[in-house]
Amino acid sequence: MKRFLCVLTFGSMLSVCAMADTMSGFISDSMCGAKHTGADAKDTKCSQACVKEHGADAVFVSDGKVYKIAADSKDKVTPHVGEKVTVDGTLAGDTVTVNDIKTM
């Protein structure tokens, strides 16, 4: 019985840590991160160049916070580097798993 309660409690904690969410932001690059907000064309060009030419990873910037992109979501996000987007996904710590992404 004690083991069951321990497993149940631990499972409940994990479900709180990974929450489904819809967030708006900008797909930036890991080299510049939150320096880019999508405010102008320079942000777009720099982010795209860093990812395509310098090997940076795509990241999601929302409200000044930089989130990593889960490995299984990178193919969904990469075409949107340098764009303002709305992301539907799951946030676990500082990593976003993307279910759907739309350009704003």
CATH number at residue 81: 2.40.50
Query: For residue 3, is it within any domain?
Result: no
Dmax (CA) of the chain: 60
**Residue type at position 77:** V
17-39 pLDDT, tens per residue?
556 789 999 999 999 999 998 98
Report pLDDT for 84: 97
pTM over 0.75? The answer is yes
Query: Domain range spanning residue 73?
Result: 19-103
Note the pLDDT of residue 20: 73
CB-based contact 87:96 (threshold 8 Å): yes
What mean pLDDT comes out for the span 5-14? 43
If one counts the domains in the chain, the total is: 1
